[in-house]
Amino acid sequence: MKLSNLKPAEGSVKNRKRIGRGTGSGRGGTSTKGHKGAQSRTGYKTKMGFEGGQMPLQRRIPKFGFTNINKIYSKAINLDVLQNLVDNTKVTDIDFNVLYSNGLVSKNDVVKVLGRGELKSKINVKLNSFSKSASDAIVGLGGTVEVVK
């Protein structure tokens, strides 16, 4: 067996359609595009969501709800995440820069610490906001909680 002898398995490779190569090919003339109309012409393109003149789905479905431009969405960080961070990096003072450098938050996030999970280490935390259960757990182990705006 040599590279020059290799062939694909019988029936696994099909020839491509040769469109627009004369009437004898069966695909000449209109080149399988039908007669006239925009779709038969070059440069044809429809808008996204166009349904042939039928009322499109995005206009059939009613609008609902609204987005409050004044609401501040917080990124939730739980106590088990903080404990995992302390175990991996041996950091006891946690602030936004520590979370950001470890990939837990992105640049413009507002961070809120929530009380899920168990905290075993004494840590000092300076972040935007805390739930009552989270602040109680941190202070209960001798750590400090500081709210930073």
Q: Each residue of 23-51: pLDDT tens digit? A: 999 999 999 999 999 999 999 999 999 99
Q: What totals of helices (H) and strands (E) does the chain contain, helices first? A: 4, 6
The pLDDT of residue 141 is: 95
Q: How many domains does the chain have?
A: 1
Strands 124-127 and 93-95: parallel
Beta partners for 54? 51
Would 142 be classed as within a structural domain? yes
The pLDDT of residue 35 is: 96
Would 97 be classed as within a structural domain? yes
Would 47 be classed as within a structural domain? no
CATH number for the domain including 106?
Answer: 3.100.10.10
Would 32 be classed as within a structural domain? no
The reported pTM is 0.58
Cβ-based neighbour number of residue 74 at 10 Å: 15
Q: Each residue of 86-144: pLDDT tens digit? A: 999 999 999 999 999 999 999 999 999 999 999 999 999 999 999 999 999 999 999 99
The parent domain of residue 130 ranges over 74-147
Would 94 be classed as within a structural domain? yes
> Are 80 and 87 contacting, i.e. CB atoms less than 8 angstroms apart?
no
Would 22 be classed as within a structural domain? no
